[in-house]
Structure 1
Amino acid sequence: MPRIFDNISEQLQTALIQTLNTAQRADFCVGYFNLRGWRLLQPHIEDWQGDETQRVRLLIGMHRSPQEEIRELFSLTGKGDGLIDNARLVRLKRQIVEEFRQQLMLGAPTNADEQGLRDLARQMREGKLVVKLFLRYPLHAKLYLLHQPHLYSAPIHAYLGSSNLTFSGLSGQGELNTEVTDTDAAAKLAHWFEERWADRGCLDITADLIQVIAESWAREKTLSPYEVYLKMAYHLAQEALAGLSGEFKLPNELTAILFDYQAAAVQIAAHHLNKRGGVLLGDVVGLGKTLMATALARIFQDDYGYETLILCPKNLESMWRKYIADYRLIAHVLPTSKALRQLPELRRYRLIIIDESHNLRNREGQRYGVIRDYIEANESKVILLSATPYNKSYLDLSAQLRLFIPEDRDIGIRPERYIGEIGELEFTRRHQANTRSLAAFEKSEHADDWRDLMRLYLVRRTRSFIIQNYAETDPISRRSFLRLRDGRLSYFPARVPKTIAFPANDQFSRMYSDDVVTWINLLSLPRYGLGQYVSEKAAKGADADEKRLLENLSRAGERLMGFSRTNLFKRLESSGASFLQSIDRHILRNSVYLYAIENDLPLPIGTLDADAIDPSAEDEDEDSILTAEDVDENGADAAQVEQGDTTRSAYQRRAQTAYELFSGGYKRRFKWLRPTLFSAALKTKLREDSDQLLEVLRLCGTWDAASDTKLNALHDLIARQHAGEKVLIFSQFADTVRYLEEQLAARGVRGLSAVTGSSDDPTAPAWRFSPVSSGANVAPEDELRVLIATDVLSEGQNLQDAAIVINYDLPWAIIRLSQRAGRVDRIGQQAERILCYSFLPADGVEQIIRLRARVRQRLAENSEVVGSDEQFFDDDQLAAQLRDLYTEKSGILDFEADTEVDLASYAYQIWANATRTDPALAKKIADLPDVVYSTRRYVGSVQRPQGVLTYMKTADGTDSLAWLDADGNSVTQSQYAILRAAECPPDTPALERHPNHHDLVLQAVALMRRGDYNVGGQLGGRTSARRRAYERLKDYIERLKQEAPLFVTQDLERAVDDLYRYPLRSTARDSINRQIKAGVSNEDLAKLVVALRAEDRLSLIQEDGEANEPCVLCSLGLFDL
């Protein structure tokens, strides 16, 4: 009776090995051969000679999938004559060899598999194993013949059945095989094998398999670390490479004037725009984003007939009209400030450019909503332009992306770091958001998640990146330059920090005294925290409009108070005149409130939007009674309000006049609330603050411009040291700008003008100041030499006719100094050096550092929220940078985080530089199979230890990287940091693999897949049957584990897992809903769900193993072996 091998009671592997140990040669015919599986049999033929008398002949049949069989069965063209020609034989051979190549790119590497594959290749080279493909017709036989000529009774021992030469076929899964020991039957099987082995349609692929292994991760000759580094860069650069593949062609007239880096950005951006409906051009200041956006719009105009709508700040309207005329763009320009009124009535534009898009970060604003609704209604594609895409919060980025991406749209990737941290199950419980949506990313605080997201939408390069990758070096001057396509050169100037130290005289010292700082820090600022003074009793009787306003007051308070306090100190640093003016206005606004309260008149409530008074976006004083525009229209009344002495009675008179103006012609500018809605404490705090500020005015006295040592130093700088040279002066505040303009003009400075947010046409003075770079025709007598401007109004202007920048005051975020320098350090700058002057007290920066530290402490004590300027750096960072600025440290104004470069551009540039140097690398690296690895020498540090870098592509195609240390601990999953860690020169030698390398790769894969459930595991709304059943049963299981763990069955846990992973069948949903409405207990609900699952009536399960299989692309060991 022959034995049966089903891999359950008896395993074929055991019998096969026993017989192999006594055999001299073997013939196998199988339908599938797992190359890794050969190591099960490899030791048992190791002693064979490898000639015809001692070898394994392996015949692999060609099989068809069920789909192919059905297609041929019902083919309308017939089955053909069954003949196979040489061309088809070669084609089939090539196809199947490629399948073997793909086989080795599945899964993760192990030490055992690597050694097994190397032994397999060696045994094939030694002739101990010969492999052929049978291609004449589909063959799916499984036959194992073992020749034992020394055994007279059974010279051929055969096994026939269903097992392939794989782990599962030999031992891991149920099969059906039988042993054939009958001499005649075994001889017939051997004859059958010989006929096919000698068939003309049977091709030897032994050498091909040897080559497949030699090129795989199991190769004997290790890849160089540089090749693995380039493979990482190549795959990370796929988005950029897709854009540069020739998909979009630049207009001819723009091709001649775009630098290579600009042309590359436009083509990459065109790919993003076409594929995803939007792109953010985020190059830093001065690299030509406006021209790039114009070229991008022209591509879509020429290729698709799109017309463009340009939304921009009012001060950039003239510039955009010039670009439209110069580059034949069919476009309409609309100032963003007019969007609320005009956009709803505008006709359809298929493409929209939004310049300075970071200004649209308030998703709750009316203007934002109108723009978003227009884009959605017209299905417009969107080009966002911003050198500062986000200030501090990542929500700044998502707000801009939400203009063209609905929050629930599937964007193809997930916030893997955040989901990995809490698990997808917990994510779904916490958040009502699809894991592959923009809303999901908004829940993440992980920078790497946002970098992954922005890879799809952002094109951003820094000045240093352009210099490093696109610039050439002048052999004589050693200066970096770009070469235009017409041969002209554009040099990059050096940014030279300079400090102007001005003496601190009495009036300066009085303002910086401890008393002044203490008084300001002690201010209650009740007007900005009105929500704290609402009378609960009175509020109950408020009408609907009043209740809505009171609610807004509570939300806005902390931010408004933080802004107001910091602004007072910022104005103190800016100019004594501006500071005292602001103190005066603050007292007056308090007095207006006191006047209203004392006369039972409605209180005028100003802006409740903290962004509107953030000096990074607004240069006017939030306490200014009237704007410069109002002063022009109502000169007499405004002057009466804004001027006067500093006694309490004088402020009371001015307050009455101001209130009459507010409640008269300017009534619609305010919201109005009854004073009886507030407690008596409001009046008390207003009076206390006013009294403290009156003390500040009395201590500081009247400001004397003639004794202003800071102003005197500025005048000396522009009138003596740089007489005749163009000078650009920056201040954060419009009041300071107007003060400087007035005082410098009075001192005889000619060719002078000022630009603030209230200027009617800021572009006109910019063109007069910089006519060459702006391409403007300006008469010599109209040209400006000195331009004073605020930060808000310097965006987008070409001011590179000048090479001297003066920072009259210092932003609290030093990066803004770099951005100011970028206004003149733009493409086309002719000067070798950009001189960047910063004003600091002569006795050093320590006074400013102490002042800012005290302000921060006070803000923290009050839990007041600060603006974007103050959130950039902690005190230690700020102090160090201020000291570097004071000592004129080289490079302080080149402040650019390398991580600001979008990863696709960064990776592409690595690839482009490498393949430009060695063109043969392009094909070599692109052809490298997956799973390959190498190791390079690396010493490491505490923060960046030795370990293994692993690059994996997840089941849904997302790039995921991990850096594990030698003990398997996660170092980082930052793609940028890992790519930087992999960086090495081409001649870097490969070291021997660390013994734990493959184990660490497996751990990295587990880390990257943590919480990675079947996509689609969304439980629905809070009232959905699926969510309610899942949450109840999840809690039920947790309680049972504590109280009665034996009742937690595997069936119950699997049913609950199915509830999470898969959608419910409609019948199951109805059953669960009925039971829940009937008040079913958790125990009975559990029984219902388990029963439904047992009958396959619970969930709609669609398994697709191949589609959900991640793959390891490569890994790099970092060790000092």
Structure 2
Amino acid sequence: MAHNFITNAEQRSLKARLQTLIQHSRELKFLVGFFYFSGWRELYEAMRSSKLISSYKILVGLDIDLRLGQVIEIAAPDAANSSQQELVGRFFASLCTALRDENLDTQDFYEQVSFFLRLLEEERLQIRKTFEPNHAKLYLFRLDEAEQALINAPGRFITGSSNLTRAGLLGQQEFNVEIGDYGWEEAEAYFDELWKTAIPLSELPRCKEQILRIIRRQTQVAEITPFEAYALILKTYLDLMEQKALRPQVKQLMEERGYKVYRYQEEAVQQALTVLEEYGGVILADVVGLGKSVIASWLARERNGRGLVICPPALVGDSKTKDTGWYKYLSDFGLFDWDVYSLGALDKVQEYLASYGDDVTTIVVDEAHRFRNEDTEAYERLSQICANRAVILLTATPFNNAPSDIFALLKLFIPSGKSTLTLDEKLAARFARYNSEFRKLSYILRYQRAGGDKQAQAEKYYAELFEQPAPVDVSLVRRRVRRLANEIRAVIEPIVIRRNRLDLKRDPVYSSEVTALSEVADPVELFYELTPEQSAFYDQVINEYFGEEGRFRGAIYQPFSYEQRTQLANLDEEGNFTYQQQRNLYEFMRRLLVKRFESSFGAFAKSIRNFINVHEHVGAFIKNSGGRYILDRRLLEKIYAADPEEIDEALEAFTHRLAQKEKLDPRHDRIYVIKDFDDPEGFLRDVRSDLALLKEINRRVQELELVSHDPKVERLIEAAGKILPGQEKPEEPHRKFVIFSEYLDTVRHIVPKLQEAFPGRVLVAQSSLSKSFFDDLRANFDAGYPSEKQRDDYDILVATDKLSEGVNLN
């Protein structure tokens, strides 16, 4: 490539070239879309150290605006008919937007702005705005006498695609050309003519004062005294910690209903009342077992007014007897005008609110982390339900996969663009940055030694985030992760109430209340032994079959990538969303098989049979429909949001639709015509190869007798025998054994073997849970149950982790 072409590739960046030219220049003239401080700071050192430059002239051709959290340049459509005052006003508004970039919030930036302000005050820096929108980028450098003699020209100039931003100078691919042997006079004349007719900004005292005032009082460099900062922080803290007076009759009611009134719960209610008043919502995120449901019920009673509780089906309770679930809490706290709905019935909630909801002022959402995906119909419905109502979210796990999980919860009660959690109100832009940085950091840590394209991408992210080349310094990445976590925590802290057992035990007030909380010992590993053949198969499943580069292609979950195979690099926003959603579905299903394999061989075998059934029905549908295939959006949402045991039901419903050729729903069904794919043969080949792989795996599971003679279950039974009654020390209480699994199929796999080993002593929680089951559960496994009602009918409890939602066995 010619030496005067500048593309920001390898070592030839526009930043480096501009720095060199600045060192040998007497005057700079820049025509740019807008004046960005991200570009200014890249050139700051060169300009500060230069002793030659007497004049900086910056001519701005466009305005900027904030769209979807991103700063973009715009050409005002009516600029030609606008007055000078209107154009100046737009420039000031654009300047405010540009200077509120969170990435500029560094110590270096404050020093660089000081230099910029000094140049303005000394009148060495002049800024003007073109009357007509101008998209050109032109950088002119009038050189010192020695350089002029060397090239026999007054100066050099650069023109091309790069704007005066960090990305334009350094980060992204651009194309610019530097010219020094001809054209200087014409280029400078073009600039000077535009300059002559442009609107003066820094040269007019009134406008210059406005620029200085905007920078000093309305941006991140606003000059705040230490006392002002202290006073603001103190006021915010005191406002949030304000102890609202609680009604004594509520405490009396709780004691009459058998509740022990804990100080840590009382103060959580007081704080939550303040947070609700300030922000319209609160997230109760105490760890499991500290009584989030009690706090929420108490909070609801203190607020008065009607409300609704939305929760998982297992927590709804009995609406007639009101002795279980949320119906019991509402009855105990005298919330007789409240009602409870399952989170699977949000359409019914909307119908109810449309008819009778004018005076419903509060919404409680239990297990709120289930609504972390904004792209689902369920989230859309819940968002509409919560609109203009106080929102109380309960979850022990507000952060599951990415910062976007938390942001999805915040959006249920914080209007977009009107957040008071941050000074700039740009919560969406802030969390977009958090999410992007989090995913890049995660990718770096995961793939920095993976080799191939993944390692190359990890190193690219590393260079982008840390501005230094590979190899990756893992300690540096981990420090950045901790810094990001602390920053997110600082933003959400005002609206999140979260304590764990250790917090309570360390508190001088709370510690005396929580002496009855159970002690949690460190986990102990249980090892089980596989035969050489089983061990080899185990490695194949994890790596060869369902690893990231494994044989399973998941074609039926991502038909879009085959349909648009040649266009994947050029997708529009909608296309990219569809591609990513289907790609995520494939990754989810691939990981699901691995997780079920690690859960139990029985669950894995059941899943493999289900997957075979789905793929066979897909093949039959394609054949019988003349080469068509459908993918149901409701299936995607169900798989993302459902409990693990409900995923199989969703897949079964999908195969039923394929088999019965049910009428298609254009709102949810996407019809794919395979012959129109960019890669039709690849799609059909991968569908067939996935089915063949699944059948091969099913055959191997049977040959190795992994289900009938499961070494993991045998080891579990051995461990249970050593823990159960008769093995405890004299000072220890009577022992109980609780087994949780994420998957119902695992429960069904291990229960018969446990019942055979411990006849009559195993209580099983699966599917729908009856009142008699909860009676047995509390009497046998709840240490807080009245001693006169406790029984010893069972020693072992086996359940899916669904039972952990709202069931306290302290």
User: What band does the TM-score fall into relative to the shorter chain?
Assistant: 0.5 to 0.7
CA distance 1:441–1:659, change in 2 (3 Å): closer
Q: State the match for 2:370 in structure 1.
A: 359
Q: Deviations over 1:751-782 (max 9, x none)?
A: 434445xx233776355222346869999889
Question: Given residue 330 of structure 2, which amino acid in structure 1 is its aligned partner?
Answer: I
Change (3 A) 1:538 1:582: same
Letter of the 1:585 counterpart: N
**1:529 paired residue number:** 558
Say which SS state the counterpart of residue 644 (structure 2) adopts.
Answer: coil
Which residue among 279, 283, 288 is the counterpart of 1:280?
A: 283
Counterpart CA distance in 2 for 1:513 and 1:449 is 40
CA 557–241 in structure 1, closer or farther in 2 if over 3 Å, else same = closer
Following superposition, the deviation at residue 297 of structure 1 comes to 1.0
Q: Which residue of 2 aligns with 1:713?
A: 715
Alignment of 1:567-606 (within 5 A): 567-600=592-625, 602-606=628-632
Q: In the aligned structure 1, how far is the partner of 2:772 from the partner of 2:428?
A: 42
Structure 1 residues 269, 285: CA separation in 2 closer, same or farther (over 3 Å shift)?
A: same
CA contact (8 A) 1:316 1:763 kept: no
Q: Shift of residue 290 of structure 1?
A: 0.9
Aligned 1:670-749 pairs, distance under 5 A? 671=669, 673=671, 675-676=673-674, 677-678=676-677, 679-702=680-703, 703=705, 705-719=707-721, 721-723=723-725, 725-747=735-757, 749=759
The 1-side partners of 2:374 and 2:770 are apart by 28
Pair 339,728 (structure 1): closer, same or farther in 2 beyond 3 Å = same
Q: Provide the rounded CA distance (Å) in 2 between the counterparts of 1:538 and 1:268.
A: 52
Cα distance in 1 between the residues matched to 2:761 and 2:662: 40
Matched, 1:500 2:500: no
Counterpart of 2:329 in structure 1 is 323
Report deviation, 1:355.
0.9
After TM superposition, give the deviation of residue 515 of structure 1 in Å.
7.3
1:505, 1:709 within 8 Å by CA — same for their partners in 2?
no
TM-score for the superposition, normalised by structure 2: 0.54
The 5-angstrom pairing of residues 40-119 of structure 1 reads none
Q: Which of 334, 341, 365 is the aligned partner of 2:348?
A: 341
Deviation at 1:381, TM superposition (A): 1.3
1:532 match: secondary structure: helix
Determine the C-alpha separation between the residues in 2 that align with 1:448 and 1:516: 34
User: 329-338 or 781-790: which moved more?
Assistant: 781-790
**Cα distance change, pair 626–684 in 1 and its aligned pair in 2 (3 A):** closer
* CA distance 1:717–1:311, shift in 2 (3 Å): same
Change (3 A) 1:255 1:308: same
**Separation in structure 1 between the aligned mates of residue 364 and residue 541 of structure 2, nearest angstrom:** 50
Contact 1:272–1:279 under 8 Å retained in 2: yes
Would the alpha carbon gap of residues 238 and 471 (structure 1) be closer, same or farther in structure 2, given more than 3 Å must change? closer
Question: Relative CO higher for 1 or 2, CA cutoff 8 Å, sep ≥ 6?
Answer: 1
CA 1:336–1:552: 2 relative to 1, 3 Å: same
CA–CA distance in 1 between the matches of 2:748 and 2:536?
23
Alignment match, 1:787: 797
Q: How much does 1:272 deviate?
A: 0.9
SS of residue matched to 1:456: helix
Task: Please state how far the C-alpha of 1:567 moved relative to its aligned partner.
Answer: 1.6
Find 1:259's aligned residue among 246, 258, 262: 262
CA distance in 2, matches of 1:518, 1:443: 35
Supply the distance in 2 between the matched residues of 1:325 and 1:451 (Cα, whole angstroms). 35
Residue type at the aligned position of 2:777: F
Q: 1:567-966 residue pairs with structure 2 within 5 A?
A: 567-600=592-625, 602-606=628-632, 612-613=638-639, 618-620=643-645, 622=647, 661-663=659-661, 671=669, 673=671, 675-676=673-674, 677-678=676-677, 679-702=680-703, 703=705, 705-719=707-721, 721-723=723-725, 725-747=735-757, 749-756=759-766, 759-761=767-769, 765-771=773-779, 772=782, 784-800=794-810
- 2:427 maps to which residue? 438
Shift of 1:404: 1.9
State the one-letter code of the partner of 1:453.
V
Seen in structure 2, the aligned counterparts of structure 1 residues 470 and 316 have a Cα distance that, compared at 3 Å, is: farther
Shift of the alpha carbon at 1:666? 11
Give, in angstroms, the shift of residue 403 of structure 1: 1.5
Which digits, 9 at most, give the CA deviation of each residue in 1:188-238, with x for residues without a partner?
xxxxxxxxxxxxxxxxxxxxxxxxxxxx999xxxxxxxxxxx999966742
Q: Following the alignment from structure 1 to structure 2, what is the Cα–Cα distance between the partners of residues 778 and 247?
A: 33
Distance in structure 2 (CA, Å) of the matches to 1:252 and 1:659: 54
Helix, strand or coil at the partner of 1:442: helix
CA positional deviation for 1:624: 6.0
Structure 1 residue 536, shift from structure 2 partner: 8.3
Tell me by how many angstroms 1:799 deviates. 2.3
RMSD: 4.1
Aligned length: 498
- Structure 2: any 5+ residue segments left out of the alignment? 1-224, 318-324, 435-483, 727-734
Give unmatched runs, 5+ long, in structure 1: 1-215, 219-229, 415-434, 473-480, 540-546, 631-640, 642-654, 801-1121
| Residue of structure 2 equivalent to 1:451 | 489
Larger radius of gyration: 1
Equivalent position to 1:404, from 413, 423, 427: 413
Give the C-alpha shift of residue 469 in structure 1.
Answer: 0.8
Q: Report deviation, 1:385.
A: 0.9
Cα 1:239–1:596 shift into 2, 3 Å: same
Distance 1:740 1:264, change over 3 A: same
Please give the secondary structure, in 2, of the residue aligned with 1:517: helix
Amino acid in structure 2 at the alignment position of 1:310? V
CA distance, structure 1, for counterparts of residue 693 and residue 263 of structure 2: 60
Measure, in 2, the Cα distance between the counterparts of 1:291 and 1:271: 18
Confirm whether residue 295 of structure 1 aligns to residue 298 of structure 2.
Answer: yes
SS in 1 for 2:717: helix
Structure 2: distance between partners of 1:353 and 1:309: 6
CA–CA separation in structure 1 for the residues paired with 2:340 and 2:428: 31
Larger helix percent: 2
Where 2:524 maps in the other structure, the secondary structure is: strand
Whichever residue aligns with residue 307 of structure 1, its letter is R
Question: What's the TM-score, normalizing by structure 1?
Answer: 0.40
Q: How does 1:916-1065 map to 2 (within 5 A)?
A: none
Q: Using a 3 Å threshold, how does the CA distance of structure 1 residues 663 and 719 change in structure 2: closer, same or farther? A: farther
Query: How far apart in 2 are the matches of 1:774 and 1:664?
Result: 51
Change (3 A) 1:664 1:761: farther
User: Any conservation in 1 of the 2:276–2:282 contact (CA below 8 Å)?
Assistant: yes
Name the counterpart of 1:483.
513
Q: Aligned partner of 1:272: which letter?
A: V
Deviations 1:1035-1061 (A, max 9, x none): xxxxxxxxxxxxxxxxxxxxxxxxxxx
Question: Hey, what does 1:390 align to over in structure 2?
Answer: 399
Contact 2:269 2:295 in 1 (8 A): yes
CA distance change for structure 1 residues 550 and 275 in 2, over 3 Å: closer, same or farther? closer
Give me the whole-angstrom Cα distance separating, in 2, the residues matched to 1:455 and 1:248.
26
CA separation in 1, counterparts of 2:347 and 2:280?
23
